[in-house]
Amino acid sequence: GADIGPQKDRVVTEEEWLQKWEMGNTGFHKEQGHPLLQKYLDLLLNGRSGLRIFFPLCGKAVEMKWLADMGHSVVGVEVSEQALKEFFAEHSLPYCEEPVPEISGAKKLQSTSGNISLYCCSIYDLSSSIVGKFDGVWDRGALVAVNPCDRQRYVSLMITLMEKNSSYLLVTVSYDPNKHKGPPFYVPESEIKSLFGNHCEIKCLQKVNDFSDKHRQWGLDYFLEVLYILKFGA
């Protein structure tokens, strides 16, 4: 963890994430959807239709609606019930709510059409016996939001949720971790390789300069988004 500097001991609590949603402090939410998913969607889908696609720490990501409208089945998990309710409200989607028997206190919010199921709980409470396995994952803002000490736990869980021949689009961020405490946390490429490398083929697709005034205010002088595709074999 030396190359992530002082971030390796940083912990953000569930309460802090809930508070971000309550205060509307959600600069990470992209109203228009993410350009990298639009650009590389074909790589994720790989010519297949009717996939099961997982959004870890989904917030109210607009791409969930977009993929469901293409005929895919979308599953998300998010600790903030407010975020999930805002997702359904903002897209005028009717939904029903039910408890998740296997997880104390958890709820599942499912669109009436049945193709979007969002779990309100800690991601670490999920397992493939509860949510099944996935053909595709869009991980933008999830791995980089997980506390650095929990990365191994998070990745181990994600690997158990992957179907054979599945694809995982992963967006990380790159900046000087000595200048900003995160989140989003800096995840170096070497760490992606050590976390996932034994389980899939990893390819870096693109690095995008995403530097803005916000990052300047954080004290940074550069900020990149880095997109990987992880391919799980048969």
One-letter amino acid for residue 125 of the chain: D
Q: Token pair 């912990």 is at which residue?
A: 11
Q: What is the rounded distance in angstroms from the CA atom of residue 73 to the CA atom of residue 131?
A: 12
Does the annotation place 118 within a ligand binding site? Answer: no
C-beta contacts of 214-218 below 8 A and 24+ residues apart:
214/27, 215/175, 215/180, 218/179, 218/180
Does the annotation place 20 within a ligand binding site? Answer: yes
Q: How many CB atoms lie within 10 A of CB 59?
A: 26
Does the annotation place 218 within a ligand binding site? Answer: no
Which contiguous run of DSSP H or E holds residue 227? strand 224-231
Does the annotation place 21 within a ligand binding site? Answer: yes
Does the annotation place 90 within a ligand binding site? Answer: no
Does the annotation place 57 within a ligand binding site? Answer: yes
Does the annotation place 28 within a ligand binding site? Answer: yes
DSSP symbol at 157: H
Does the annotation place 13 within a ligand binding site? Answer: no
Does the annotation place 73 within a ligand binding site? Answer: no
Does the annotation place 122 within a ligand binding site? Answer: yes
Does the annotation place 151 within a ligand binding site? Answer: no
Does the annotation place 8 within a ligand binding site? Answer: no
Binding residues: 17-28, 57, 78, 122-123, 140
Known binding-site residue numbers for S-adenosyl-L-methionine: 17-28, 57, 78, 122-123, 140
